[in-house]
Chains A and B, each alone.
Chain A
Amino acid sequence: MKAYITRRLLLAVPVAWGVVTMVFLIIHMTPGDPVAIMLGESATIADMESLRSELGLDKPVLEQYAKFLLNVVSFDLGNSIYTGRSVAESISTRYGATVELALASMALAILLAIPLGVMAAARKDTVVDRVGMALSLIGVSMPSFWIGPLLIIFFAIDLKWFPVSGRGGVESLVLPAITLGTAMAAILSRLTRATMIDTLGEDYITTARAKGLENYVVLFKHALRNALLPVVTVAGLQLGALLAGAIITETIFSWPGIGRLTIQAINARDYPLVQGCVLAIALSYTFVNIVVDILYSFVDPRVRLR
């Protein structure tokens, strides 16, 4: 297991390298000049040139790229061109908010989706199944820019149960987590239902029932465990996406996460900050994937991590 984790962590290096290289090339090819954005239009040409050379932007792109890689290797992500703050610090202050929202939405999605999916599969083609799947269809069809304001109007303005926006205590997390979690819950519950139906048709389930086991033991202990493998994969991928920041939800709820930071950095052509954000996102994606693979071995003991 240890060797496996080490190997997977080492494999994250080429992934991160590939991603930052692509982003480096794309952002340097996009029109827009960070120096002009920083100094404003009235700056003299001499001032602009001197800042450009100080930031190393006058060097050939390949040379800038080599310098950037060297800095990354020595854990120095540089300073934001726009605000002058350290990139690592800017990202770390935002990352907490993103992780908080991602975990809460994922928790909500799993708590809703798995019982719903299991119930729908166990009572296949009954009212329970149809209502459950209709609900999940509605959930997956509601875009966050619509459900977000709707939740705000109903729960924050009419009922005054939760704050409208901003990051504070648990109460401020509820509405953004529902906004993000609903669509995920919908996908996961449909997936759980489908894999559960397959599993419930297996011979060993019939054996379990023939042994006279209680229905919930058959469902949750024998069937669900085997049905969960694809669900864990999809949930992991979705968690990875959530850790990249949910830009729309973060904007609606004034949530200071990494998605908004990345967009602001792109708009200001803040090269070091864009690269830092993308690196953080790529690494968290890779990390989540490793965790998912490890979880496999818990869910299915036949899976050996080598």
Chain B
Amino acid sequence: MILFVTRILLLAFLCVSCVERQKTPPGALVIAIESGPRTLDPRLATDATSVKIFDLIYNGLVKRNDDTSIGPDLAISWELATPLQYRLNLRRNVKFHNGKEFTSADVIAQYKFLIDPANKSPHRSSMLMVESVEAPDDYTVVYNLRQPNAPFLGNLTMGIVPSGSGKEITENPVGTGFFKLAEYSRDEKLLLTANGAYFDGPPKLNSLLFRIIPDETVRTLELESGSVHLIMNPITPDLLPRLAKNEQLKVFKKLGTNYSYLGFNLEDELVGRHDIRLAIAHAIDRESVVRYILKGLAKPATGPLSVANRFYEPDVETYEYDPEKAKSILDEAGFPDPDGDGPKVRFRVEYSTSRNELRKRIAEVFQWQLQKVGIGLDIRSYEWGTFYANIKKGRFQLFSLTWVGISDPDIFHYIFHSASFPPGGANRGRYISGEIDKLLDKGRVVTGKERESAYAKAQKIIASDIPYVSLWHSVNVAVSDRKVTGFTVAPDESLGSLHTTRIKR
């Protein structure tokens, strides 16, 4: 019997020892990420990890600069020939990782792929405004739009794949970017090597290894042990002071484009009232949450656009923390406090949030702050899929979420226009304003100063109507080994700076 068990155990150990050892190639920069990319095909991905990795493997026709303006990438210049026609001049002598030359045929093929419903691309809707695409020659592409669309170029940041690319690209990407894929083991690691033929010169690093480490504490421990060189958002604020004290590490911070807010269901008989929303806006102390819970890793927001955005309007109504004012607004609204500072409340509101620990803690602080003005907050924390489905179906009174990567103000159309109720858009609170609809429609078709003024007005009206209580813009954080130089954090978390990043041996 003992012999039998010993034999089985020996066999088990033998099986185990056959597995190949995990090696880091010499000279590689190792980056730990929370989850793996959903797909490596830019035509199909929307998740944040995929999009970050695409910055390295692919180039779009254009790219977003740090101030959210549009800059050249595979297209070196463009002109608005008529309000309905964009003419783009493409970069010459650009080679894909497979050696094929990049031409206008690839752009046309990508457009056809995106609009074909059979391909199920989540980006199809971004191309529906295009009537046709033409290629007068190998290095010119013309987009004919159905109607004028000022933010149109922003839809051309998606990485371009070679024409004829099929399903294989989801695991074997071929782009024009400064890194190319060498090895991919789903949910374990992704090894990229330098593209020596990159049009803007090869990267300084010879390889990059992304290791997928879902546990945040472990990502941090790997960084401290030196087996990982760089970690990025999400980093829990509580962990940061410990990392900042470590002399082997450097902390990078940059105000990001993510916007957290409290959303109201405007069809609700309580929070659908402007005075109730106003009272809640005054009852919430965002500064304290930023200081004590987020450890300064956020900046209170006045609206969806951050100060770094060129469309940011500073002159909007803001709601300072003033519990006394909140109380008097509620008294006037016909909701007297039954027992003053006692435990009884004027009314109760349900607050939906996800199971994320940090979000739950923030919810508890809001609960306490609102209790002080006599509003009872019932926190309902749901598993993500359920929470998200409830929000989209309008099954909420109050919720908190974050918009990720806000760049062009056209997002206002998506979240505040009355034609954008889910599922076709994200006006989840069912906010309706004729004036806002007009301004947001106008912002789509006009350019220059006229566009800026339309969004400035829209920001003022939205701030006064309070369909959202603006909470904060998060600060993007990265922590690297001191040996890493040349890395910077971008407002949209793009990894473009890895082109010039080095690692000292």
Contacts and interface: CB of A to CB of B under 8 A. Distances in A.
Contacts of B185: 256
Contacts of B422: 41
Interface stretch (A31-39, A130-138, A193-201): A31-39
Contacts of A82: 38
A31 B386 contact: yes
Contacts of A267: 383-385
Interface stretch (A15-23, A45-53, A63-71): A45-53
Given A30-B385, A84-B167, A149 B218 contact: yes
Interface string B380-400: 000111101110100000000
B227 A164 contact: yes
A84 B46 contact: no
A83 interface: yes
Contacts of A264: 35
Contact of B12 (A45, A103, A166): A103
Contacts of B2: 220
A238 interface: no
A50 B389 CA distance: 19
Interface string A168-211: 11111100000000000000000000000000000000000000
A107 B9 contact: yes
A299 B385 contact: no
Contacts of A47: 117, 120, 124-125
A157 interface: yes
Contacts, number: 161
A160 B225 contact: yes
B186 A170 contact: no
A86 to B, nearest CB: 11
Interface stretch (B207-215, B298-306, B318-326, B341-349): B207-215
Contact of B188 (A32, A103, A220, A254): A254
Contact of B218 (A38, A40, A83, A252): A252
Most chain A CB inside 10 Å of its own CB: which residue of B1, B23, B38, B214: B214
B425 interface: yes
A5 B479 CA distance: 56
A43 B125 contact: yes
Interface residues of A, number: 67
Interface stretch (B14-22, B156-164, B458-466): B14-22
B402 to A, nearest CB: 14
A100 B16 contact: yes
A93 B167 CA distance: 19
B138 interface: no
Interface in B456-503: none
A225 interface: yes
A168 B20 contact: yes
Nearest to B128: A44
A164 B30 CA distance: 14
A168 B1 contact: no
Interface of A: 30-33, 36-45, 47-48, 50-51, 54, 82-85, 90, 93-94, 100, 103-104, 106-107, 110-111, 149, 152-153, 156-157, 160, 163-173, 220, 225, 228, 251-254, 256, 260-261, 264, 266-269, 298-299
Given A32-B388, A42-B125, A169-B19, 8 more contacts: A36-B392, A41-B426, A44-B128, A110-B9, A164-B222, A220-B2, A253-B218, A267-B383
Interface of B: 1-2, 4-5, 9, 12-13, 15-17, 19-23, 35, 38-39, 44, 46, 117, 120, 122, 124-126, 128, 167, 170, 185-189, 211-215, 217-218, 221-222, 224-225, 227, 383-386, 388-390, 392, 414, 422-426
24 contacts: A33-B389, A41-B423, A42-B425, A44-B125, A44-B424, A47-B120, A51-B120, A84-B167, A103-B16, A104-B13, A110-B9, A149-B218, A152-B218, A163-B227, A165-B222, A168-B19, A169-B17, A169-B20, A228-B1, A251-B214, A254-B188, A266-B385, A267-B385, A269-B385
